[in-house]
């Protein structure tokens, strides 16, 4: 009788240990191992989102149109009077952001550290005037060197630059 009890207890424990081991290894890989395949998928996701912004958001788009595309999970930005560009309101969307991530800079400043570290996939900043898009910027990483791209559309004038680590910019052709 004691042997049967031992088997009944040992077999489920062994199966549970095997399942936990496989689950833990898979979870560990998904959470902590940043394989090239995962980076590529994430970069593809970011680039698809950037393309979606560029293709669909135009100067003059309404708040309702933008919210229909990207939802209402934006930050209402307090620029503290720093931005003197004629906008009445600012929104910031952060895409592919680590849970509980808190930037070290105000919302109206490009979070280079968060984007370069991969804690933020892309930042989409919108300036509103008369309830319409007046300007927007997108900051994101791209390419094998993980260049920080800064795309802006200010009242119809488009610029696409790479922000270098030393703070200088290079025009992206």
Q: What is the mean pLDDT of each run of 10 residues along the chain (173 residues)?
A: 55 50 43 46 90 98 98 90 79 95 92 94 96 97 90 93 85 80
**Domain total of the chain:** 2
Query: Are 91 and 158 found together in one domain?
Result: yes
Q: Which of 77, 48, 49, 158 minimizes the C-alpha distance to 150?
A: 158
Instruction: Reduce the DSSP state of residue 24 to 3 states and report it.
Output: helix
Query: Are 11 and 91 found together in one domain?
Result: no
Query: Are 93 and 161 found together in one domain?
Result: yes
pLDDT of residue 168: 83
Query: Are 66 and 137 found together in one domain?
Result: yes
Place of tokens 């200010």: 154
Query: Are 95 and 145 found together in one domain?
Result: yes
Alpha carbons 39 and 13: distance in angstroms, whole number: 37
pLDDT of residue 69: 98
Alpha carbons 2 and 67: distance in angstroms, whole number: 66
Query: Are 4 and 67 found together in one domain?
Result: no
Query: Are 25 and 97 found together in one domain?
Result: no
Give me the domain span that covers residue 145: 34-171
């Amino acid at each position: 009788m004691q042997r049967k009890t031992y088997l009944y207890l040992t077999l489920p424990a062994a199966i549970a240990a095997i399942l936990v081991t496989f689950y833990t290894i898979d979870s560990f890989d998904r959470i902590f191992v940043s394989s090239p395949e995962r980076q590529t998928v994430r970069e593809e996701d970011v680039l698809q989102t950037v393309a979606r912004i560029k293709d669909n958001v135009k100067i003059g788009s309404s708040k309702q149109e933008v919210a229909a595309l990207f939802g209402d999970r934006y930050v209402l930005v307090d620029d503290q009077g720093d931005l003197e560009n004629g906008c009445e309101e600012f929104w910031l969307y952060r895409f592919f952001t680590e849970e509980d991530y808190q930037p070290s800079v105000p919302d109206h400043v490009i979070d280079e550290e968060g984007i370069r570290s991969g804690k933020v996939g892309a930042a989409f900043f919108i300036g509103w005037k008369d309830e319409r898009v007046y300007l927007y910027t997108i900051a994101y990483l791209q390419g094998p060197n993980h260049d920080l791209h800064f795309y802006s559309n200010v009242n119809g004038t488009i610029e696409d630059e790479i922000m270098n680590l030393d703070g200088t910019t290079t025009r992206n052709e």
